[in-house]
């Protein structure tokens, strides 16, 4: 069957911008992507003298580039027809209207790079970027089936010869991960244990004043604090770290980083669960031993009070006995 081309021309200079195949309905690939790599390339030593897409000139961020593309996407002129045809060559069926912010990235082309470069007459020619050791800043637009550069200073399209039209591919992603356990320093656990002494009182009362569940005596004396012990422990905490296998495909293109999104799970499997309660101990002793300890305690408390009066500073020898 004979293939017929319907040429879309905009009446600005009467030039045709892109051609559409009547049989397939697909835009023909722009001549920008046909790099011959033969002959001597035009030596480009200065940019900005013959801009192709002025709306992309002198922009400083990918977001500004994306906004400029979207702002001009609906324009019906020769310039945008060529721009849309270039984008159609990398898989954007509707040209600028299909471009998303994520499709635009910053790039730097090394000095000496060769390829096809567009110009102000909306044509392209074989060229060499000869612009110093720092290279050339550019904006890379990546589509479903390829990529193209737009030089930041002039807005001209550029397609490197080394790419040879290699298309992007869509591939499944399998992430193989081994769970890892990480132990981190835990919280400080400080517990104060107390030891009290008492003796069994012979006189019996219906409701003993000092009796409680911790004392193994139905009629104990007043508990006397014998000593205090502070225990400090740091309990480590262990976490299990795993990576989910993402159920997705990604687009992989030449000269472009592949982005894989995966969830990282952190699960605490051991560690400090709360402050331990103090363990108060009550020990029964002989009455005379209790009285001797009580006298010594009262003597210490009197000295404490005396020192406090002289120095006008609170002094604590030991904790007061709970009542």
- Is residue 211 in some structural domain? yes
In this structure, the chain runs to a length of 323
Question: Per-residue pLDDT tens for 187-216?
Answer: 666 777 888 888 888 766 555 678 888 888
9, 157: one domain: yes
Q: Backbone phi, then psi, for 187, in 5-degree steps?
A: -85, 155
- Is residue 318 in some structural domain? no
If residue 85 lies in a helix (H) or strand (E), which one and from where to where?
A: helix 78-88
User: 119, 135, 167 — which closes off a domain?
Assistant: 167
**pTM of the predicted structure, to 2 decimals:** 0.46
Taking the C-alpha atoms of residue 257 and residue 259, their distance in angstroms, rounded to an integer, is: 6
Q: Are 127 and 115 in contact (CB under 8 A)?
A: yes
* Domain range enclosing 284: 180-311
103, 189: one domain: no
Q: What tokens does 277 get?
A: 């309660």
Question: Per-residue pLDDT tens for 266-321?
Answer: 777 665 555 566 778 888 888 888 888 888 888 888 888 888 888 887 766 554 44
Number of domains in the chain: 2
Residue 296: the pLDDT is 85
Helix, strand, coil shares of the chain, percent, nearest 5, are 20, 35, 50
160, 195: one domain: no
140, 54: one domain: yes
């Amino acid at each position: 069957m004979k293939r017929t081309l319907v040429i879309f021309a905009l009446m600005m200079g009467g030039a045709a911008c892109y051609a559409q195949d009547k049989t397939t309905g697909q835009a023909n690939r722009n001549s920008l992507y046909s790099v011959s790599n033969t002959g001597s390339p035009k030596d480009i030593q200065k940019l900005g003298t013959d801009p192709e897409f002025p709306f992309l000139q002198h922009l400083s961020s990918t977001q500004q580039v994306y906004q400029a593309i979207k702002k001009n996407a609906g324009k019906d002129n020769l310039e945008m027809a060529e721009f849309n045809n270039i984008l159609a060559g990398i898989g954007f069926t509707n040209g600028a209207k299909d471009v998303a912010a994520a499709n635009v990235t910053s790039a730097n082309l090394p000095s000496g790079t060769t390829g096809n470069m567009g110009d102000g007459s909306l044509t392209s020619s074989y060229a060499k970027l000869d612009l110093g050791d720092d290279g050339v800043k550019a904006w890379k637009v990546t589509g479903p089936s390829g990529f193209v550069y737009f030089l930041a200073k002039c807005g001209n399209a550029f397609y490197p010869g080394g790419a040879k039209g290699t298309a992007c591919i869509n591939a499944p992603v399998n992430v193989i991960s081994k769970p890892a356990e990480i132990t981190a320093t835990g919280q400080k656990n400080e517990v104060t244990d107390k030891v009290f002494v008492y003796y069994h009182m012979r006189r019996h009362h219906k409701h003993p004043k000092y009796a409680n569940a911790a004392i193994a005596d139905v009629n104990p004396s007043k508990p006397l604090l014998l000593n205090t012990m502070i225990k400090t422990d740091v309990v480590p905490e262990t976490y299990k770290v795993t990576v989910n296998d993402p159920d997705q495909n990604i687009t992989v293109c030449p000269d472009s980083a592949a982005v894989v999104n995966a969830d990282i799970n952190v699960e605490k499997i051991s560690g400090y669960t709360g402050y331990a309660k103090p363990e108060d101990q009550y020990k029964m002793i002989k009455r005379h031993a209790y009285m001797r300890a009580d006298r010594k305690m009262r003597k210490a408390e009197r000295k404490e009070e005396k020192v406090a009066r002289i120095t006008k500073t609170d002094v604590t020898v030991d904790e007061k006995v709970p009542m």
